[in-house]
Amino acid sequence: MKILVTGGTGYIGSHTAVELIKKGHDVVLLDNLYNSNVNVIKRIEKITGYCPEFYNVDILDKTNLKKVFEGNKFDAIIHFAGYKAVGESVSIPLTYYQNNIAGSLNLYEMMQEFGCNNIVFSSSATVYGDDFEVPFKESYGLGTTTNPYGTTKKFNEIILTDFANANHDISCVLLRYFNPIGAHESGLLGEVPNGIPNNLVPYIAKVASGELEYLRVFGNDYPTVDGTGVRDYIHVVDLARAHVLAIEYAVAHKGAEVINVGSGKGYSVLEVLHAYEKACGKELPYKILERRPGDIATCYADTKKAKELLGFEVEYDIEKMCEDSYRFTVMNPNGID
Ligand code: NAD
Ligand code: UFG
């Protein structure tokens, strides 16, 4: 299949491109390089032996986006392009709504105009909010989002569901990711956060490399195993494999389907820290701080639907996630350059 991957040079997009190429798909990457580096493409080539076609295009730029569709007949799209920083979305909500909603609408209009009927969308467990009991089940529907970033994911789910309801040729798979971490085991692809990381594992990686002094643990008075927050971490390569299955599912079905992608297991902040210590072979300092506003105690997925519809199960455990993250950190002290 010929597949357009928007946000294709980003963290999850680049790993997904590798898995799609490995399965023999014809992959076309599109990205405006806002949060990624063009050298990612050489690394994809190094891993797979194949250099995917790349368009440096912004999805907000309708004229150039249209040219991409005029030059290609896509069977399907995987739509990763978007901004993703929760805290930043609270400070600049309009920028987030513009990029993540207006940009996405441009893409959906192109699908309609050029008869591309299949899409997989990057949604997030954040759409459950804190309204429901764990494990989070797809049947719960959409909760109350607590930040503009989460709201852009919720709106995109609603838009794509309405699109599929109104056009019976359209197939949308809305993947709700839990917490993707880790890196490609080659050490060539991984997550390169801008500035001081907000997320747990990128922050621990910088403590392990000596760039940051200690981990700030946000709260140890949650009703969890050791009082620290519990999340469902999934290896980015497992998540990438889920996209290959989801795109194959999308072309074989019609309508909109929401599917969780997680491991179904929860790990506390201190459990992740200790797994990382094992991976890097040293003790990592930490300090307990106040809870971070907006955080929930526990979040993990009900994974039955992913298994039933996609045949998806995770392969990698928390130790492998930390080992691969650490290898990427050591091999790329200046990021992907
Ligand atoms: P990322 O920032 O590494 O990748 C996103 C890519 O989109 C970047 O390369 C960026 O340059 C590109 N981009 C942004 N705006 C664009 C635009 N207007 N036009 C073209 N390209 C644009 O992020 P990621 O971690 O790979 O996340 C991919 C998707 O998955 C995002 O939509 C994100 O919201 C979603 N998601 C991520 C997580 C996570 O924890 N990483 C969790 C849930 C959902
Ligand atoms: N944490 C720390 N110290 C840090 C960073 C995080 O203690 O420096 C804790 C948090 O309090 C939380 C856990 O580690 O208990 C995980 O936090 P992350 O920031 O790594 O991840 P979140 O679960 O808060 O959010 C992430 C993404 C969201 C996405 C969500 C579900 O940032 O965009 O996963 O997919 F919506």
Could you give the percent of the chain with pLDDT greater than 90? 97
Do 308 and 241 form a contact (C-beta atoms < 8 A)?
no
Question: At 249, is the secondary structure helix, strand, or coil?
Answer: helix
Rounded to 10 deg, the angle between the 103-114 and 148-166 helix axes is: 20
Q: Which ligand is nearest to the CA of 122?
A: 1
Ligand 2, atom 34, residue with closest C-alpha: 179
Q: What is the pLDDT of residues 41-85, one digit of tens each?
A: 999 999 999 999 999 999 999 999 999 999 999 999 999 999 999
Q: What is the pLDDT of residues 167-191, one digit of tens each?
A: 999 999 999 999 999 999 999 999 9
Cα of 16 to ligand 2 centre, how many Å?
A: 22
Ligand 1, atom 14, residue with closest C-alpha: 82
Range 319-323 contact pairs with CB under 8 angstroms and sequence separation of 24 or more: 319/275, 319/278, 319/279, 320/182, 320/235, 321/181, 321/182, 321/201, 321/233, 321/234, 321/235, 321/275, 322/182, 322/201, 322/272, 322/275, 322/276, 322/278, 322/279, 322/280, 323/279
Q: What is the pLDDT of residues 303-322, one digit of tens each?
A: 999 999 999 999 999 999 99
Asked if pLDDT for residue 294 goes beyond 90, the answer is no
Under 8 Å CB-to-CB from 144, ≥6 apart: which residues?
129, 130, 131
Mean pLDDT of the region 259-277: 98
Cα of 13 to ligand 1 centre, how many Å?
A: 8
- Kindly give the pairing relationship between strand 215-218 and strand 171-177: unpaired
Cα of 52 to ligand 2 centre, how many Å?
A: 32
Q: Which ligand is nearest to the CA of 128?
A: 2
Asked if pLDDT for residue 236 goes beyond 90, the answer is yes
Q: What is the pLDDT of residues 107-130, one digit of tens each?
A: 999 999 999 999 999 999 999 998
pLDDT of 193 = 87
State which of 9, 18, 34, 88 you would mutate to test the pocket of ligand 1, scoring each by most atoms of that ligand within 8 A of its C-beta.
34
pLDDT of 130 = 85
Q: For the purposes of burial, counting CB atoms within 10 Å of the CB of 81, is it exposed (0-12), middle (13-18) or buried (19 or more)?
A: buried
Q: What single DSSP character describes residue 315?
A: -
Catalytic residues: 149
